[in-house]
Structure 1
């Protein structure tokens, strides 16, 4: 049969076959198990926060990238210094670190030249699950000061700028602690 001799009923019959095929395909998809229809969630990697020790130190369980897999280790945040327990603004600094790094959350870490200090703590730059650069955030909000321990100086300019902004704004410890 020549296409020019097709009539409307022939066109409808062809369209009906296509609709029937689609309906069958949709019916088959509907029979698939629900787990197969949804992709598996991507598991985040990175050390898991076990506890916040103080404003610049956290305890983690390693993921095998920088901190060995399964190892419980302390991370000292590089290029910052938060007030020690009992010092002016120490509670606020520890609380802010706990807000940024809640227990059970995962970190993204970056090392510099020296990996550990004399206390066997990992010296790292840390980003939280919201991709906030925690080291800088603590300095910028006035919960810590910028400190440089050579040769670990990868973000020295960033930290100095964050401290200058915090100091100028009188943020955190810059207005709370008279000795600053």
Structure 2
């Protein structure tokens, strides 16, 4: 029994390279292009209150180098001086410490009437911060149309927090 010459003959050096080069020149295969990493999201400078941050832009949503305020979408934390405001601000600062990088998502409107960026935010650990604050009872879910991309998630998180008496739902008599 004879072996096939196709299977038993050694490959000539450079034959594979020549074949790939020919396919590239004919446009039958595309060269491998390394994926470009997306620029990192904004960097937290400080937490102003439970639902507002100051960030330095890196060019994705907030222009590179710009210092801007970000208002977390679909949530509302108690105002400064109100029941549970210190706890809400402290929790936001735990989730978004200064120097950390955010992953952000926009909805329909990018800015509010005060010039703040309206964003959904994830921290470096992948925690959806807007939802986490509502679920733990540090914030209420609030719909500001037309920004409603995660409304179902937020309203369900609030229902769970109310039912459990989490955070402000048990600490504040008029919550």
- TM-score normalised by L of structure 2: 0.78
Q: Offset at 1:45?
A: 1.2
SS at match of 1:116: coil
Instruction: Select which of 156, 161, 179 maps to 2:174.
Output: 179
Quick one: distance in 2 between partners of 1:82 and 1:179?
A: 14
Alpha carbon RMSD of aligned pairs, Å?
Answer: 1.3
**Aligned match of 1:71:** 66
Secondary structure in 1 matching 2:107: strand
Which position in structure 1 is the counterpart of 2:148? 153
Structure 2 distance, partners of 1:77, 1:65, is 17
User: In the aligned structure 2, how far is the partner of 1:114 from the partner of 1:92?
Assistant: 29
Q: CA deviation at 1:151?
A: 0.2
Of 93, 115, 130, the match for 2:88:
93
Residue 83 of structure 1: which of 78, 82, 93 is its match? 78
Deviations 1:34-63 (A, max 9, x none): xxxxxxxx9971110000000000000001
Tell me which stretches of 4 or more aligned residues in structure 1 moved more than 3 Å: none
Please show how residues 41-52 of structure 1 align to structure 2 within 5 Å: 45-52=40-47
CA shift in 2, pair 1:105/1:44, >3 Å: farther
For the pair shown, which has the larger CA radius of gyration, 1 or 2?
1
- 2:137 matched residue in structure 1: 142
The count of aligned residue pairs is 139
Q: Which runs of 5+ in 1 are unaligned?
A: 1-41
Quote the residue 2:126 is aligned against.
131
Q: Is contact 2:39–2:58 with CA below 8 Å preserved after alignment?
A: no
